[in-house]
């Protein structure tokens, strides 16, 4: 779905929410608000225009607040009628009916399936249910169990991506190694001055490996790895988002050593001076409080790993806490060369480029992100199939396909263009030169 189509869907869902709200069908309204907010957060993520993002964010905050009021009302009985903010809504609104939580977080939460095991260290876990239960029992100590189970769903068993799979980013890999991998090998060594960073921010243009780096670090460090986003924290638990943050941190403490990976950090913690009292604001405050809490406790072995394409939207308070800020830039020529050959090699696709041709491809892909290069290779791999008839296609086996040639990739270059906006890149580079500690 394009971002525009997503946006239309989000608008429609919110329309349904306000309609249900007007009709005093609060349970339905909550359900629609919740899913509309989630949709909007996804749209914000893909929206390149800063102003548009800001205005959408302001709207999301408004919906969150409204949903929060309805929820409190629904849960507490009739004494706290939510005030309708939007003037297009029915102003004659009287008592809210005492609806139950139907339709809002009322689904029974199932435990994650085997593909998403919780309680990493992954290698030390046998896949049998009893050890999983033991681990989840440990993680759920001192937390609200319904919320805790929601957080359990964010824990990923990472066994696939390794740091070696990631091209380039030598400095970032080293920093992650020092912060999470080495301390786990010999914790005693990494105390005092050698105390690892507790906040690392990966920033840079999309598609260059921020998410991959975080996941790889989690896998190799054998940490409990919580993969959270604004949607996990904010929309599902309208009215209880701060408690969700507390639960998350308590569980990270229970499962130490832990990594809390906040992808798209900007959508959760962006500067938001226009709505000082909103739910989003409180989430941010709670997050910072918790962050400070474990920063001051030497013994806590928790790392907050943030990733963002828009670090300039984070305020100083947040930046200050991420003591290492690493710029994940576009790949250089050598990295591009390696990635092209590696992408074909890993997918066992035969190629017939000479080393000079490969170097030329690296040169031609200036400005491409790593994920653009992967797309380019996919496109090139399709070229040999394009001249085949359906009958030929039906009979041919992968090993019989001809090799991918230099010309095939050149053709693909006409189709796959760099996705990074030069203006954004410029802003990121400026930010990096001012704020990055490692780049
Ligand atoms: N450094 C890299 N090495 C190999 N592949 C990469 C690298 N960076 C990105 N990719 C490819 O691009 C995809 C998107 O990368 P991702 O880590 O999600 O980017 P980001 O989080 O920076 O937007 C990955 O799934 C992978 O296929
Ligand atoms: Mg990412």
Final residue in a domain of this structure, among 76, 103, 129: 76
Digit-coded pLDDT (tens) for 328-338: 999 999 999 99
Probe ligand 1: pick from 156, 332, 371, max atoms within 8 Å of CB?
A: 371
* DSSP secondary structure code for residue 180 in this structure: I
Does one domain contain both 188 and 52?
A: no
Pairwise CA distance, residues 45 & 3, whole Å:
9
State the Cα angle at 371 between 369 and 374, rounded to 5°. Answer: 115
Does residue 374 have its Cβ closer than 6 Å to ligand 1? yes
Does one domain contain both 217 and 283?
A: yes
Does residue 206 have its Cβ closer than 6 Å to ligand 1? yes
Does residue 255 have its Cβ closer than 6 Å to ligand 1? no
Does residue 207 have its Cβ closer than 6 Å to ligand 1? yes
Q: What is the pTM of this model?
A: 0.75
| For ion ligand 2, residues whose CB falls within 5 Å | 210-211
Domain assignment present for residue 102? The answer is no
Note the pLDDT of residue 406: 95
| Beta strand ranges found along 70-208 (DSSP E) | 199-203
Does residue 310 have its Cβ closer than 6 Å to ligand 1? no
302-308: strand order across its sheet:
224-228, 258-262, 302-308, 199-203, 324-327
State the Cα angle at 40 between 36 and 43, rounded to 5°. Answer: 140
Does one domain contain both 349 and 305?
A: no
Domain assignment present for residue 232? The answer is yes
Indicate which residue's Cα is closest to atom 19 of ligand 1: 207
Probe ligand 1: pick from 168, 171, 204, 212, max atoms within 8 Å of CB?
A: 212
Beta bridge partners of 305: 200, 261
Q: Are 120 and 157 in contact (CB under 8 A)?
A: yes
- Given a cut of 90, whether residue 195 has pLDDT beyond it is no
Does one domain contain both 317 and 393?
A: no
Residues with Cβ within 8 Å of 214's Cβ and at least 6 positions away in sequence, in order, are 202, 259, 261, 263, 305, 307
> Where residue 261 falls among pLDDT bands split at 50, 70, 90?
very high
Top-confidence residue, 90 or 132: 132
- Given a cut of 90, whether residue 304 has pLDDT beyond it is yes
| Beta strand ranges found along 234-293 (DSSP E) | 258-262
Does residue 370 have its Cβ closer than 6 Å to ligand 1? yes
Does one domain contain both 321 and 355?
A: no
Does one domain contain both 355 and 236?
A: no
Does one domain contain both 261 and 372?
A: no
Does residue 311 have its Cβ closer than 6 Å to ligand 1? no
Would you state the structure tokens that stand for residue 292, as one six-digit string? 């400070």
Note the pLDDT of residue 3: 86
Domain assignment present for residue 218? The answer is yes
CATH number at residue 401: 1.10.8.60
Angle between helices 279-296 and 241-254 (to 10 degrees): 20
Digit-coded pLDDT (tens) for 348-371: 999 999 999 999 999 999 999 999
**Which residue from 11, 37, 384, 30 is spatially nearest to 229, judged by alpha carbons?**
37
Note the pLDDT of residue 102: 28
Domains contained in the chain, number? 3
Does residue 166 have its Cβ closer than 6 Å to ligand 1? yes
Digit-coded pLDDT (tens) for 106-140: 333 333 333 333 333 333 334 456 677 778 888 88
Does residue 154 have its Cβ closer than 6 Å to ligand 1? no
Does one domain contain both 295 and 236?
A: yes
Does one domain contain both 262 and 136?
A: yes
Does one domain contain both 339 and 323?
A: no
Percent of the chain with pLDDT over 90: 34
Distance, CA 263 to ligand 2 centroid (Å)?
6
CATH number at residue 65: 1.20.58.80
CATH number at residue 221: 3.40.50.300
Domain assignment present for residue 287? The answer is yes
Domain assignment present for residue 255? The answer is yes
Indicate which residue's Cα is closest to atom 27 of ligand 1: 371
Domain assignment present for residue 223? The answer is yes
Does one domain contain both 157 and 300?
A: yes
Note the pLDDT of residue 423: 92
Would you state the structure tokens that stand for residue 330, as one six-digit string? 């576009």
Backbone angles phi, psi at 260, to 5 degrees: -100, 110
Range of the domain at 320: 116-327
Domain assignment present for residue 292? The answer is yes
> Where residue 143 falls among pLDDT bands split at 50, 70, 90?
confident
Distance, CA 430 to ligand 1 centroid (Å)?
22
> Where residue 72 falls among pLDDT bands split at 50, 70, 90?
confident
Distance, CA 152 to ligand 1 centroid (Å)?
25
Q: Are 313 and 343 in contact (CB under 8 A)?
A: no
Indicate which residue's Cα is closest to atom 16 of ligand 1: 209
Indicate which residue's Cα is closest to atom 7 of ligand 1: 209
Ligand 1 atom with the shortest distance to the CA of 328: 22
Domain assignment present for residue 63? The answer is yes
Does one domain contain both 29 and 152?
A: no
Cα radius of gyration rounded to whole Å, the chain: 24
Distance, CA 429 to ligand 1 centroid (Å)?
19
């Amino acid at each position: 779905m394009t971002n525009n189509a997503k946006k239309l869907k989000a608008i429609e869902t919110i329309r349904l929410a306000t309609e249900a709200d007007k009709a005093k069908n609060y349970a339905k309204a909550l359900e629609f608000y919740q899913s509309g907010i989630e949709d909007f957060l996804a749209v914000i993520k893909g929206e390149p225009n800063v102003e548009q993002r800001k205005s959408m964010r302001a709207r999301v905050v408004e919906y969150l607040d409204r949903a929060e009021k309805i929820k409190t009302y629904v849960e507490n009985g009739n004494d706290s009628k939510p005030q309708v903010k939007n003037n297009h809504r029915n102003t004659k609104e009287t008592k809210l009916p005492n609806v139950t939580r139907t339709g809002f977080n009322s689904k029974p939460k199932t435990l994650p399936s085997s593909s998403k095991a919780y309680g990493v260290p992954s290698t030390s876990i046998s896949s049998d249910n009893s050890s999983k239960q033991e681990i989840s029992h440990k993680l759920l100590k001192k937390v609200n169990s319904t919320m805790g189970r929601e957080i359990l769903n964010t824990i990923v068993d990472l066994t696939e991506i390794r740091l070696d799979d990631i091209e380039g980013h030598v400095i970032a890999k080293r920093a992650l190694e020092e912060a999470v991998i080495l301390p786990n090998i010999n914790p005693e060594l990494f105390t005092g001055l050698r105390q690892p960073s507790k906040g690392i921010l990966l920033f840079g243009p999309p598609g260059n490996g921020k998410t991959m780096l975080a996941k790889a670090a989690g896998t190799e460090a054998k940490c409990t790895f919580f993969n959270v986003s604004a949607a996990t924290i904010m929309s599902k638990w309208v009215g209880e988002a701060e408690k969700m943050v507390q639960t998350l941190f308590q569980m990270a403490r229970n499962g130490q050593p832990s990594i809390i990976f906040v992808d798209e950090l900007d959508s959760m913690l962006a500067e938001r001076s226009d709505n000082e009292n909103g739910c989003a604001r409180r989430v941010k405050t709670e997050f910072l409080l918790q962050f400070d809490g474990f920063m001051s406790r030497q013994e806590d072995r928790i790392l907050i790993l943030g990733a963002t394409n828009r670090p300039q939207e984070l305020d100083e308070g947040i930046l200050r806490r991420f003591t290492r800020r690493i710029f994940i830039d576009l790949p250089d020529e050598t990295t591009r060369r390696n990635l092209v050959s590696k992408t074909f090699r890993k997918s066992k696709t035969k190629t017939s480029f000479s080393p000079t041709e490969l170097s030329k491809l690296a040169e031609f892909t200036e400005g491409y992100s790593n994920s653009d290069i992967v797309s380019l290779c996919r496109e090139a791999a399709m070229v040999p199939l394009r001249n085949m008839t359906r009958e030929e296609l039906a009979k041919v086996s992968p090993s019989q396909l001809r090799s991918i040639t230099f010309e095939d990739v050149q053709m693909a270059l006409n189709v796959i263009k760099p996705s990074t906006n030069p203006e954004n890149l410029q802003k990121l580079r400026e930010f990096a030169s001012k704020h990055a500690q490692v780049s």
